[in-house]
Amino acid sequence: MENFAGRVAVITGAGSGLGREFANEAARLGMKLVLADIDAHALEQAASALQAGGADVLAMVCDVRKAAHVEELADAAMIRYHGVHLLFNNAGVGTAGLIWEYTEADWDWVLGVNLWGVIHGVRVFTPLMLEAARRDPDYEGHIVNTASMAGLLVPPVMGPYNVSKHAVVALSETLYHDLRLVDASVKASVLCPYFVPTEIAHSERHRAGELRHDAPPTPSQQAGQALLEQAVASGTMSAAEVARITFDGIRRGDFYIHTHPQALQAVAQRMDAIVHGNPPADAYAATPQFTDQLRAAVQGSGK
């Protein structure tokens, strides 16, 4: 896809972080915007700022864990704009701790947003985009699923997040192959950013009430949360830069969109370990202080 002006972009998680910057870039390119987020205040702020700049915006509070919410989002987009050209399945949350210490509610929350949000987006919007392509030979569509380098690597104390993002990579690769089978003029990409300063380290504040628990955090959860905040804050690439890289990838038709090519060496080491039957490679091999920090904090948790 090279022409964006006048076309329609749907963005989940649009109230902050990467989603907000996808919306800013899409607006700069003259797109009409359908913005979704679970945070009503952040969504209103984003929509108001974009409208003040002249963008045509439809904003809806949406919990992507829920199929009905995503279906309502699609219905609203079709009623307002009669079509969708660019879909960002982007909403995401993060948490940390030793994998056996997560509660069922923790798994439900992370997989619900990070994985089921993408599943619902693909399931609901892809048929609409394929139908538009059948009606219009000039139609172009593109779906971008936000994964993470944690979808290609396996860092410790991030179990549900790792599982969700690996699943998003697999889902996206399958989507790519399936779209090719039907000769669709709808393309797919998976975005795998590394550490970018966003609010994901504080996503707990948006956890649905029915999925909360009152137990105090374990030492591994405290250490993992501190490391997550430190790592995210240390990111030197802004969300706006990631958005520009992503749109460049869409223009080229890239499937894998990487923002931090220096991290791909660790991916190659992981693949090499798989091919040669070696133990999993250390995702923090280049930053051993992270592993040392975690080990010191959780000593005794496995006994």
Task: Give the amino acid at 226.
Answer: A
Does residue 281 contact residue 272 with C-beta atoms inside 8 Å? yes
Could you give the CA distance from residue 69 to residue 62 in angstroms, rounded to a whole number? 6
Q: CA of 296: how far to CAs of 11, 69, 95, in Å?
A: 40, 43, 19
Q: CA of 115: how far to CAs of 89, 118, 151, 203, in Å?
A: 10, 5, 11, 15
Task: Give the amino acid at 104.
Answer: E
* Residues pairing with 145 in the sheet: 89, 190
Q: What is the DSSP letter of 146?
A: E
Helix H, strand E, coil C: the string for 88-125 is: EECCCCCCCECHHHCCHHHHHHHHHHHHHHHHHHHHHH
Is 161 catalytic? The answer is: yes
Token pair 């279906």 is found at 71
Structural tokens at position 141: 């569509």
Q: 68 burial class (0-12, 13-18, 19+ CB within 10 angstroms)?
A: exposed
Of the residues 81, 102, 161, 284, only one is catalytic, namely 161
Does residue 172 contact residue 127 with C-beta atoms inside 8 Å? no
Could you give the CA distance from residue 303 to residue 300 in angstroms, rounded to a whole number? 5
Active site (catalytic) residues: 161
